[in-house]
Structure 1
Amino acid sequence: MDMSEDTKLDKSPQIFTPELKTESTKVSYRFRCPGPGMFQCSLTGLVFVVDQEAELLYSTVQWDESLLQSAGKMAAGPLFNIHCPEDAVCELHLPHCEAEDALPSEGLLSVVHITDDGMSFLKPLEITHSHVIVKVSHLSAFGLVWLGEMLQRLLNNKKPICGQLLLFLRPPARDIQILDVFLMPSNLPLSEVAAQQDDAVYIKISSDCKLIVDQRYSVLSDLEDFKIQPEFAEFYLNYGPNFFPTFEVFLTPNTQTLTLMVKHEEGTEVWKRSIPLPSPKRETGQSSLPADDNLQAEERLCAVRAEFIQRVSDTVLNQLLDKLLQRGVIGDAEMESARTKSRAEKAKDVIDSVRRKGREASSFLIDALCHLDEWLSRELSLR
């Protein structure tokens, strides 16, 4: 297999966090590559190899199951619709969910390319422990597919795939709080699931596990007074467009911690964690903020300062600086000074300098952040 030295996977990609835009439950991603190189999206796992500075625009779209079935294929990952106005992407790495000791061969895992002219299949350049690599000449929709034979092998031999367990805590209602438990393939982006969970709070905890397609699992807890439904549920490959919890755990609102475990129907434990739960104040979507109506804009920024500095992406910060300069909130010298600093220091400069300039400037920053990063602004309760 011929691959240039510049595109081999032993060269680590640069990790980036894209700008997110959420409309209803639809998520789209945007990132500007600063130059040629290999860039990996921290949210989707996609890796792009580009030969020049370029803008990447991408989102997931729904698979046409009837089209796949007619070709004897089944979805093995999300279907990504990818655009690059500069036509600079020469190689694409799509994340798979195969266990390393069971990587497919014999053409059983491939990449589908869907355009207005129809559907074609690309033979991978390489299948690594985490990605399937293909050369691309032009962009549209790309996704991983299994040959029907591969799926039958998984089912017949009970081969596990790499999975993930996602937890979302709903706001309390009538002295009951529900913890939603999702069993998902590992190559499904968290951002796609989170966009459909309304005001539920994502609980960040190690999620890796091995799961077997079409096998039954149960969830158990160390709590005495609790209910989990259903008693058993089958794990299946779901790549959207809708995501619903596999299990629901009913808790009392004052529950602070619990231990959850997931077991295979034969009794094998596949996942177990001790889980700290957010306070009810956080669960109601208020984060660390009192009622917004009683806060000035600069006080709202002060309340979320630490989390903003920790979580805002460098791409969003640069766009905020452009908007603040255009509005006259900051001057050229302030902007140039901020751009030379690290991401965290830049974030401190942005939020602190704007807070000191009062209510109008702070309100403008909040509005700009809500426009540029809807997900983060919602997580910070600034929306």
Structure 2
Amino acid sequence: MEKPHTVHDPSHFIPEILINTFGETSYRFRVEYPGTYECTSTRLVFTMCREGELLYRIVQWDESLLQSAGKTPAGPLFDIQCSEDSVFQLHIPHCETKPASLSDGLSVAHISYDGMNILDPLQITDTHVVVDVPHLSAFGLLIDIVKRILNQPIRGQILLFHRLRKNRKVNVFLLPENIPLQEVRQQQEGAEYIEAPSSCHLIKGHTYSLHSPEKYRVQPLRAQFDFNYGPNYHPTFEIRPNSNAEEVTVMVRDQEETPVWEYNARFNALASSSSSTQPPSSEPASLLPAGGGGPGPSGQTLPRPESLQGEEEQKLLSVRTEFIDRVSGSVLKDLLDKLLENKVINSRELESIQTMSRTDKARELIDLVLNKGNSACKIMIDNLCDLDPFVSETLQLKLNECF
């Protein structure tokens, strides 16, 4: 079959996200037709000559291979599989601000059982490095150690995670832009991801400091920015806000004390109120957390004691596993919209759930609503009955009133 030409505007797809027993993330997507497709989670672009199922994940770089070649990573190392052998071109995201000046310094590592081969790019765009694929295995961006321009900034990202368990804190990550958010989020289980404009310019080897005008405790005071391409990611800084704080201002400064990024982060109402007393009954219950649950052995929020649960809450909890197994992706999409309209969830929670696989969406949604109390559970049941009478009847949810 003749290979199609490279397409500059690829079709975007949301991959299915798979988490194994070790907490490692993989991405899967089935391509039905030849063409060029971009993964919204990793920004990898695949040019396909026929249909095929893609399966890919981030793996550890072998430092000994890199040192012998005089190279250093310029992106994560992706182990890519496709049983139909239908990928013939790969576009790997870079984070260089001036890729043209590095045209002879950027290359791609192709690592297989035979060792590491260095592939010369076919093209370097403002966002990606394009290479032909001889056969699938592990691919990752490299840069020549000697040819990297000193003090040249890269496109970076600053990610915030609010952790309430045990000692309350905000973890702040300074990372290259081409590290997928999903990879960091997975390792911050139990923490609230604070969605914020994350883009900034960072310089390898430079020292950065973090400041909070609210005078919260920040540690460490300074940290050197280096490229960390996983698969493990650790916070660069942490902030210890007061127990009753509802927001924190995060300011990152470079070694010249010039601000490079600033954001006023407001905490999720569910997290910030979990340690407080129940709000007055005049407030809409659908907007408020139920409270009373506690962290389990692995940090997840456990259901409240049955004696404190309302009827709808108990009913929804009793069908949790079946709901996760049975609800369809299209119903989940409509249900999320309805719950947003009814102020059961907020826009940040909606956007966070929308990035997940169908199973994870269902699990995250029902757990989120269960934690918001009986009124929230009733609204979810009512809307599920309207959107999917068959599943509602199968789960015996509010049977007499729905039909």
Answer whether TM exceeds 0.5 for this pair: yes
Distance 1:210 1:241 in 2: 22
Structure 2 residue 209 is the aligned partner of structure 1 residue 218: yes
Q: Tell me, yes or no, if the aligned pair for 1:282 and 1:288 is still in contact at 8 Å.
A: no
Structure scoring higher RCO (CA < 8 A, sep ≥ 6) equals: 1
State the match for 2:26 in structure 1: 28
Distance 2:103 2:237 in 1: 36
Structure 2 residue 251 is the aligned partner of structure 1 residue 254: no
Q: Tell me, yes or no, if the aligned pair for 1:220 and 1:261 is still in contact at 8 Å.
A: yes
Query: How far off is 1:22 after superposition?
Result: 1.4
Distance 1:130 1:270 in 2: 21
- Identical-residue share of aligned pairs (%): 40
Q: Which residue of the other structure, out of 170, 174, 193, is the alignment partner of 1:179?
A: 170
* Distance verdict in 2 for CA 1:114–1:223, change over 3 Å: same
Q: Tell me, yes or no, if the aligned pair for 1:297 and 1:359 is still in contact at 8 Å.
A: no
Between 233-242 and 104-113, the greater mean CA deviation after superposition: 104-113
* Distance verdict in 2 for CA 1:349–1:315, change over 3 Å: farther
* Distance verdict in 2 for CA 1:249–1:349, change over 3 Å: same
Distance 2:244 2:114 in 1: 56
* Distance verdict in 2 for CA 1:37–1:7, change over 3 Å: same
Distance 1:239 1:25 in 2: 17
Distance 1:171 1:266 in 2: 33
State the match for 1:127 in structure 2: 124
The one-letter code of the counterpart of 1:74 is T
Structure 2 residue 194 is the aligned partner of structure 1 residue 203: yes
Query: How far off is 1:360 after superposition?
Result: 6.5
Q: CA RMSD in A?
A: 3.2
Query: How far off is 1:316 after superposition?
Result: 3.6
Distance 2:89 2:195 in 1: 32
Structure 2 residue 98 is the aligned partner of structure 1 residue 62: no
TM superposition score normalised by structure 2: 0.72
Distance 1:161 1:190 in 2: 17
* Distance verdict in 2 for CA 1:91–1:229, change over 3 Å: same
State the match for 1:170 in structure 2: 163
State the match for 2:146 in structure 1: 149
Q: Secondary structure at the match of 2:146?
A: helix
The one-letter code of the counterpart of 2:6 is T
Query: How far off is 1:278 after superposition?
Result: 1.3
The structure number with the bigger radius of gyration is 2
Distance 2:31 2:15 in 1: 10
Query: How far off is 1:280 after superposition?
Result: 4.8
The one-letter code of the counterpart of 1:109 is L
TM superposition score normalised by structure 1: 0.75
Q: Tell me, yes or no, if the aligned pair for 2:6 and 2:36 is still in contact at 8 Å.
A: yes
Query: How far off is 1:361 after superposition?
Result: 8.5
The one-letter code of the counterpart of 1:165 is I
Distance 2:248 2:271 in 1: 18
Superposition pairs of residues 337-356 of structure 1, within 5 angstroms? 352-353=388-389, 356=392
Structure 2 residue 35 is the aligned partner of structure 1 residue 45: no
* Distance verdict in 2 for CA 1:7–1:265, change over 3 Å: same
CA offsets per residue over residues 178-223 of structure 1, 9 Å max, x none? 0000000000111111111121111111100000001000111121
Superposition pairs of residues 1-383 of structure 1, within 5 angstroms? 6-9=5-8, 12-23=9-20, 24-99=22-97, 101-151=98-148, 153=149, 156=150, 158-173=151-166, 176-224=167-215, 226-281=216-271, 292=303, 294=309, 295-296=313-314, 298=316, 306=340, 311-312=353-354, 316=358, 352-353=388-389, 356-357=392-393, 359=395
Q: Tell me, yes or no, if the aligned pair for 1:56 and 1:83 is still in contact at 8 Å.
A: yes
Distance 1:316 1:16 in 2: 14
After the TM superposition, which parts of structure 1 deviate over 3 Å for at least 4 consecutive aligned residues?
Answer: 101-106, 280-284, 287-294, 296-317, 347-355, 358-362
Q: Secondary structure at the match of 1:6?
A: coil
Distance 2:123 2:163 in 1: 42
Distance 1:297 1:49 in 2: 47
Q: Tell me, yes or no, if the aligned pair for 1:162 and 1:208 is still in contact at 8 Å.
A: yes
The number of residues matched between the two structures is 321
Q: Tell me, yes or no, if the aligned pair for 2:80 and 2:137 is still in contact at 8 Å.
A: yes
Distance 1:188 1:78 in 2: 7
